Structure 1
């Protein structure tokens, strides 16, 4: 049977933060083309089946009126909201979308530079799951860099892998891990497809977030080491959309049909 590909890629507001339109047609770059051609062949990031109908898609945009009743700066309260929504939906895990314009980044000054446009645009995809959930490499690579990015609302423990492909190398970032995930790592360490990369961290060591994975694909890392922007300003959309292709090429998540 051929790999199951996602017919909804770039066609759902779940992954663009707004209603679908032609401006969100697939970005064609050598990396995105390579990823799309192999969609459905990558290994799973977690042991849960992302094709299960009970996987819940979170909405962290201003369109979600429920968020007005949650103090997002209060991590335990935020975590209770996440857990409550998963229980209500009968879901074990939740998904957070790519290029979603998120109000939740107002919780931390980390996303508001003095005199600059605030950063609200999510450049990765999330898996919201219990702390210590194991995370696996979806494809073979090596450790590019790692760091504990401290500070309220930051990544916390982060691992970046480097992968070879037809046109050079690209990278995958795993943020909000546990501190234990960084133990024993060294730059250049080989990682096989399906090998355990780490585990989701609890708050506050994970950057003080409800437990979740931030997964991001990065073409050119520039001078970044152990860190890379995971949220961008609206004016930076096209630059980061090109350098950070849709993670759903790897997730291969198909949103459930509306009831």
Structure 2
């Protein structure tokens, strides 16, 4: 070893030479700069959180016409000839049906009857959902409700991702994609309506309630495709502010491409 070489002995005070100190200092500065740069790159490449809302700590009373075709919904009049269909959900990963059973049995059917329901609102991008947490907050107002109108049908092929609307429209961020797939599967298998989220050529998001070709609920049949970018061919009609896509699950094609929804 040369005479001017440094040799560090941990238990000997003052054995850390000036060259070693400079090397450690340079390494520390470079490491800090790399960490800061990496954090900035990671931060700027992430998609921002959606401005979706879930009013978990407050309740809202909604009065509207109940209908259950294809899924439990409450039709609310916003203005003359303008209606919104609010999707009804249960607490957690369940459908609204358990919270409607008592009144359903008592009234021997609720279709097209006006109900008052109190629950937690979930809303994003023009769509509204209501989480029911107490069956005693569901009451009959009258039997004079008006059923939703449906447009003419058209055959379409759409690309998008099947999501569970409860998480996507407010409860989870993010509520789509591979990272959320297992949660969405549990929600939809529990009775929450499956929705196809798409983005059109103008980068505008659109949402389609999924049913079978007869317009019935289709929860279990779409479970293998949830959270996977897919191409789906079906028949579309509009029900007030919601599009409904009637499909044969065997026609769903997983594309394997990167999800374009947000």
- Calculate the TM-score normalised by the size of structure 1: 0.27
Q: Which has more radius of gyration?
A: 2
Higher relative contact order (CA 8 A, sep 6+): 1
Structure with greater strand percent? 2
Q: When the two structures are superposed, what TM-score results if normalisation uses the length of structure 2? A: 0.26
